[in-house]
Structure 1
Amino acid sequence: MNGRVIAGRYELATLIGQGGMGQVWTAYDQRLDRRVAVKLLRPDRMHAATEAEDMRRRFVRECRVTAQVDHPGLVTVHDAGSDGDDLYLVMQFVEGADLADHFAEHNDPYPWQWTVSLAAQLCAVLAAVHAVPIVHRDLKPRNVMVKPDGTITVLDLGVASVLDTDTTRLTHTGTPIGTPAYMAPEQAMGGAVGPYTDLYALGVLLHELLTGDVPFAGTTALGILHRHLYEAPAPVRQLRPEVPQALEALVLHLLAKDPQHRPGSVQEVYERLAPLLPERGRPAGPLDPTRPFLRPQAPWPDRAATPAPATAPVSAPAKPDVAGAVDEVKQLLGEGRITQAVDLLGNILPAAAAEHGERSPVVRILRKQYAATLLDDGQYRRALPELRRLADERAAETGPADPQALQFRYDAAQCLEQLGEPAAALAEYRALLPYYENGYVSGGDPSRAFELRHRVAQLLLAMGDHTEAGRQLQGLLYDAERAYGSYHPLVQEIRRGLDRQRQFGGLR
């Protein structure tokens, strides 16, 4: 199915999740050249064939309703509809790790402060959802993403309500529609669901994060549902004494069998969590869910410098066709699909290096194209190390004055400039200038030397050194007029720059 295009627009790329009711793929929106997530559902696997068309209509209606909910903690729905036998839901691609993986990686044990912070964020999301009113119905770790900045995004809003028209109906395998481990008693019994149903699931989730396991486990779905209905959950502090008593009491309150005995709303839950939230301080690192409370409204961590762990595909990918990658990238770039070209090159490079060696011509071509594509796409932080590596390797082989090595260094300096590092960019431009001024590279053409001098002057202005910038511009104006004449665009631009400096007092 890899490469299948949904609705003539969304090209499936990597399978990242699947179950009895559908699959989730990373995909590319060919029209807008962006990465998205596509969820495919198969109505014929969940309901009788006579109900499939009705389910399609309800699916689209539910997606329209849920798309009206506006909250930063909800995944953005871009599109929905049917394609062949599948229903599809196109969503924002969310970087980060789902809560199940996040919990598994940090469960030694999972910090209770993280649990409180996650719960507080979930309360904010659920408050917006319940105000519509919508009930999520399938709140669980796999439906919560923890992003690099520590904020959370809730997935699959509205999907469960389409599938869950009759919760007591079982599939052919005996599994109820939904997730039994997180299912409230009233939902398991086919009763009316409401915001209180999501509160119960929140209680299950908190119990799992605090103790390492859900409160009611079992080998069969019916056995789990029976325990939800008739067994009391173990108090959290019996399993983990350092958890605050107030937090244990809240979890038990959320897990009440009778909906009327649970907290009245997520607002009430948040108010009880608020005294347990961390105060100001330093986050532990990326994906720390306390970050929004330790540093509220602070800038996000740099996503390129601290990338989120990649989601492993469900099945091992086939061996990539390294030989055909260059042609495919050229085709993608010709069609303006830069995002897809960047991903293809980034994925193919390790395999190409393993197969042919880092010094092989094919790897050199791929790495050069990767750097150029990142640069064209404005991904300067990712392009910078690739350009530096290319420059060093080329200079080591052919000498520091090699035109290609110098071009790589020039492109790297542009990245530094775009990334807001003027001092580093200035140093690199100045280091490059002698190669072009002395004719080692340009063959008598002064254009690159003039360009470098102009960049140096502009960076000096940006750094506040108006006197030196003016001196550089005056010298450049004299040389450019001699080379090109008084009406050349560069000469006119330099004059405008000098006029601006005089106007604002930078020159006398």
Structure 2
Amino acid sequence: MTVATGRVVAGRYELSTLIGQGGMGQVWTAYDQRLDRRVAVKLLRPDKVAGAEAEELRRRFLRECRVTAQVDHPGLVTVHDAGSEGEELFLVMQYVDGADLSDHLAEHDPYPWQWAVAVAAQLCAVLSAVHAVPIVHRDLKPRNVMVKQDGTVTVLDLGVASVMDTDTTRLTHTGSPIGSPAYMAPEQAMGGAVGPYTDLYALGVLLHELLSGEVPFAGSTALGVLHRHLYEPPVPVRRIRAEVPEPLESLVLRLLAKDPQHRPASAQEVYEDLSALLPARGTPSGAPLDPTRPFLRPHAPWPDRARTPAPQPAAPIAAVPDKPDVAAAVDEVKRLLGEGRITQAVDILGAILPVAADRHGERSTVVRTLRKQYAATLMDDGQYRRALPELRRLAEERAAEAGQADPQVLRFRYETAQCLEQLGEPAAALAEYRALLPYYENQYVAGDPQLAHDVRRRIGHLLLALGDRPAAHDTLARLLMDVERLHGPGHPMAAEVRRTLQWLGQVRG
């Protein structure tokens, strides 16, 4: 299956980065051109399945997309669109920013058992909603689970889900059951009827892996793994890791029961068992992607405090090739900005910057120009938290060469203050504006009365935000006199400042 980067699916979704590939299809990050947002697009080729099963797959895929789109749960990836184009089926889903659970586990060894409980509890909430449709996921595994930046868990890929009807035909490909052998319940491996109990077994495998670092049944071949699922008992996790609570070990063993009737009755029941082990409300650890956070501070805003993190590296964008032409990328950015596709332009700029720096040098004119465009585009896109470190870097580098009074330095610092203001950090923004004001008021340096007036207005409003009404009134009253002297009482800024002073109750009329 060959799909080109930049191809537009359904006249709307422009493919960007290939992030997954299997026998029958691919998953891409893409851009919704109509709403200028990132999405994930899954493409399937039913003709890759032999015989009559191709049409059955097509029928089932479209039906399942309709059914799964009815599941309304924050822990399940949102389905935006689905359909067919030529020989392909496509599914458009929410783009999830985070790490898949497999990578999350690899980065935290050993995985805190409290985190394992928190992940499993969130998965139970999702499975309970999915099973109520009723749908069985059939392929629950770490690669199909994302841990988002705020610690919440999102389940992906209901594409192999089985809608539970009595006449449902079990689809296979090259004679093997749908699913992943390491996480496959015995009844699924044998081609028997699947149900919610099948997903609970996979949850048990996943929990065992989080607690011990390994799946309970591994092997060199798929048949060998399935044989162990059918006939071997799992090793209790406390033999591998003694600090795991005994009730948690007992729950994992019940989930991994060979006979579905010996497993817990429902995802709701498993959640109730896990709830006694969930952390009490309190302060999150502060670790990135901490999955206990939703339980420690339910529904709390995130991040907990207004703060500005270090800039995050941009994700690779396939629209920019391995050895891209920087000039061509710049032209592409100009085209996208002209079409109002700011989000896509931001990503291309973020991806091309390190390439340009490697090729031309960090302090080259090319890189400096790209960085300025990147910061400006981030601000246009409302991504002030990402724009802030870029602006600070630009200001520092330019100041080292041209001095603090250089007009470009002042502009970067002014935009830095704007970012701080937008991010809800009034004290930091106020300090930045106050540091800038002397340069704008000094006719021998910047000498820009319009910007000086704007900075003074912003200072007055920030003082109000910080609760210092007398200082705000004094600042704005003096500003009003200066604006009226320069432009007359009818000037828009004079009218705005006058209204603010009237609101403060200090000026009448």
Q: Is 1:42 matched with 2:45? A: yes
Q: Is 1:263 matched with 2:267? A: no
**Counterpart AA for 1:423:** A
Other-structure match for 2:13: 10
Indicate if the aligned counterparts of 1:167 and 1:178 stay in contact, CA closer than 8 A: no
Other-structure match for 1:82: 84
Q: Comparing 242-251 with 88-97, which one deviates more in the overlay?
A: 242-251
**Counterpart AA for 2:180:** T
Other-structure match for 1:185: 186
- Alpha carbons of structure 1 residues 480 and 19: separation in structure 2 relative to 1, 3 Å: same
Indicate if the aligned counterparts of 1:163 and 1:177 stay in contact, CA closer than 8 A: no
Instruction: Tell me how far 1:369 sits from its aligned partner.
Output: 0.2
**Counterpart AA for 2:384:** Y
Task: Give the whole-Å Cα distance in 1 for the aligned partners of 2:212 and 2:482.
Answer: 74
Q: Deviations over 1:14-69 (max 9, x none)?
A: 11121223221111111110011111222122x22433233222211111110111
Instruction: Tell me how far 1:88 sits from its aligned partner.
Output: 1.3
Task: Give the whole-Å Cα distance in 2 for the aligned partners of 1:465 and 1:507.
Answer: 20
Specify the SS of the correspondent of 2:136.
Answer: coil
Other-structure match for 2:275: 274
Q: Comparing 333-342 with 451-460, which one deviates more in the overlay?
A: 451-460
**Counterpart AA for 1:39:** K
- List runs of 5+ in structure 2 lacking aligned partners: none
Indicate if the aligned counterparts of 1:144 and 1:154 stay in contact, CA closer than 8 A: yes
Indicate if the aligned counterparts of 1:6 and 1:83 stay in contact, CA closer than 8 A: yes
Indicate if the aligned counterparts of 1:73 and 1:154 stay in contact, CA closer than 8 A: yes
Other-structure match for 1:412: 416
Other-structure match for 2:31: 28
Indicate if the aligned counterparts of 1:97 and 1:309 stay in contact, CA closer than 8 A: no
Q: Is 1:372 matched with 2:376? A: yes
Task: Give the whole-Å Cα distance in 2 for the aligned partners of 1:313 and 1:491.
Answer: 47
Instruction: Tell me how far 1:466 sits from its aligned partner.
Output: 1.3
Other-structure match for 1:331: 335
Instruction: Tell me how far 1:11 sits from its aligned partner.
Output: 1.0
Specify the SS of the correspondent of 1:237.
Answer: helix
**Counterpart AA for 1:373:** T
Indicate if the aligned counterparts of 2:254 and 2:262 stay in contact, CA closer than 8 A: yes
Task: Give the whole-Å Cα distance in 2 for the aligned partners of 1:294 and 1:250.
Answer: 22
- Alpha carbons of structure 1 residues 235 and 166: separation in structure 2 relative to 1, 3 Å: farther
**Counterpart AA for 2:106:** A
- Alpha carbons of structure 1 residues 116 and 255: separation in structure 2 relative to 1, 3 Å: same
Q: Deviations over 1:180-213 (max 9, x none)?
A: 1111122222222111111111111111222222
Q: Comparing 411-420 with 392-401, which one deviates more in the overlay?
A: 392-401
Q: For residues 242-261 of structure 1, what are the structure 2 equivalents within 5 Å?
A: 242-261=243-262
Specify the SS of the correspondent of 1:38.
Answer: strand
**Counterpart AA for 2:131:** H
Q: For residues 302-381 of structure 1, what are the structure 2 equivalents within 5 Å?
A: 305=309, 318-381=322-385
Q: Deviations over 1:371-424 (max 9, x none)?
A: 100111111111111111112222222232222221111111111111112122
How many corresponding residue pairs? 501
Indicate if the aligned counterparts of 1:148 and 1:308 stay in contact, CA closer than 8 A: no
- Alpha carbons of structure 1 residues 160 and 246: separation in structure 2 relative to 1, 3 Å: same
Indicate if the aligned counterparts of 2:12 and 2:33 stay in contact, CA closer than 8 A: yes
Indicate if the aligned counterparts of 1:470 and 1:507 stay in contact, CA closer than 8 A: no
Q: Comparing 118-127 with 462-471, which one deviates more in the overlay?
A: 462-471
Instruction: Tell me how far 1:146 sits from its aligned partner.
Output: 0.7
Task: Give the whole-Å Cα distance in 1 for the aligned partners of 2:121 and 2:108.
Answer: 19
Q: Is 1:399 matched with 2:399? A: no
- Alpha carbons of structure 1 residues 178 and 457: separation in structure 2 relative to 1, 3 Å: same
Q: Comparing 55-64 with 136-145, which one deviates more in the overlay?
A: 55-64
Q: TM-score, normalised by structure 1?
A: 0.92
Q: For residues 105-144 of structure 1, what are the structure 2 equivalents within 5 Å?
A: 105-107=107-109, 109-144=110-145
Task: Give the whole-Å Cα distance in 1 for the aligned partners of 2:358 and 2:37.
Answer: 29
Other-structure match for 1:19: 22
Q: For residues 160-171 of structure 1, what are the structure 2 equivalents within 5 Å?
A: 160-161=161-162, 167=170, 169-171=172-174
- Alpha carbons of structure 1 residues 63 and 186: separation in structure 2 relative to 1, 3 Å: same
Other-structure match for 2:425: 421
- List runs of 5+ in structure 1 lacking aligned partners: none
Other-structure match for 1:103: 105
- Alpha carbons of structure 1 residues 253 and 365: separation in structure 2 relative to 1, 3 Å: same
Task: Give the whole-Å Cα distance in 2 for the aligned partners of 1:420 and 1:333.
Answer: 27
Indicate if the aligned counterparts of 1:450 and 1:476 stay in contact, CA closer than 8 A: yes
Task: Give the whole-Å Cα distance in 2 for the aligned partners of 1:404 and 1:232.
Answer: 69
Task: Give the whole-Å Cα distance in 1 for the aligned partners of 2:313 and 2:163.
Answer: 32
Which among 446, 452, 471 is matched to residue 449 of structure 2? 446
- Alpha carbons of structure 1 residues 431 and 29: separation in structure 2 relative to 1, 3 Å: same
Indicate if the aligned counterparts of 2:148 and 2:154 stay in contact, CA closer than 8 A: yes
Instruction: Tell me how far 1:332 sits from its aligned partner.
Output: 0.7
Q: Is 1:218 matched with 2:219? A: yes
Other-structure match for 2:196: 195
Q: Comparing 229-238 with 414-423, which one deviates more in the overlay?
A: 229-238
Specify the SS of the correspondent of 1:264.
Answer: coil
Instruction: Tell me how far 1:313 sits from its aligned partner.
Output: 8.7
Instruction: Tell me how far 1:281 sits from its aligned partner.
Output: 4.1
Other-structure match for 2:236: 235
Instruction: Tell me how far 1:158 sits from its aligned partner.
Output: 4.4
Specify the SS of the correspondent of 1:150.
Answer: coil
Specify the SS of the correspondent of 1:286.
Answer: coil
Specify the SS of the correspondent of 1:102.
Answer: helix
Task: Give the whole-Å Cα distance in 2 for the aligned partners of 1:496 and 1:300.
Answer: 35
**Counterpart AA for 1:116:** V
Indicate if the aligned counterparts of 1:140 and 1:205 stay in contact, CA closer than 8 A: yes
Specify the SS of the correspondent of 1:276.
Answer: coil
Other-structure match for 1:498: 501
Task: Give the whole-Å Cα distance in 2 for the aligned partners of 1:486 and 1:212.
Answer: 72
Q: TM-score, normalised by structure 2?
A: 0.92
Other-structure match for 2:439: 435
- Alpha carbons of structure 1 residues 310 and 452: separation in structure 2 relative to 1, 3 Å: closer
Instruction: Tell me how far 1:284 sits from its aligned partner.
Output: 4.6
Task: Give the whole-Å Cα distance in 2 for the aligned partners of 1:311 and 1:388.
Answer: 22
Q: Deviations over 1:330-366 (max 9, x none)?
A: 1110011101111111111111011101111111110
**Counterpart AA for 2:8:** V
Other-structure match for 1:474: 477
**Counterpart AA for 2:388:** L
Which among 52, 55, 58 is matched to residue 57 of structure 2? 55
Task: Give the whole-Å Cα distance in 1 for the aligned partners of 2:23 and 2:468.
Answer: 65
Other-structure match for 1:487: 490
Specify the SS of the correspondent of 1:90.
Answer: strand
Q: Deviations over 1:249-298 (max 9, x none)?
A: 11111111221111111111111112222223432511111222223222
Task: Give the whole-Å Cα distance in 1 for the aligned partners of 2:127 and 2:143.
Answer: 16
- Alpha carbons of structure 1 residues 381 and 336: separation in structure 2 relative to 1, 3 Å: same
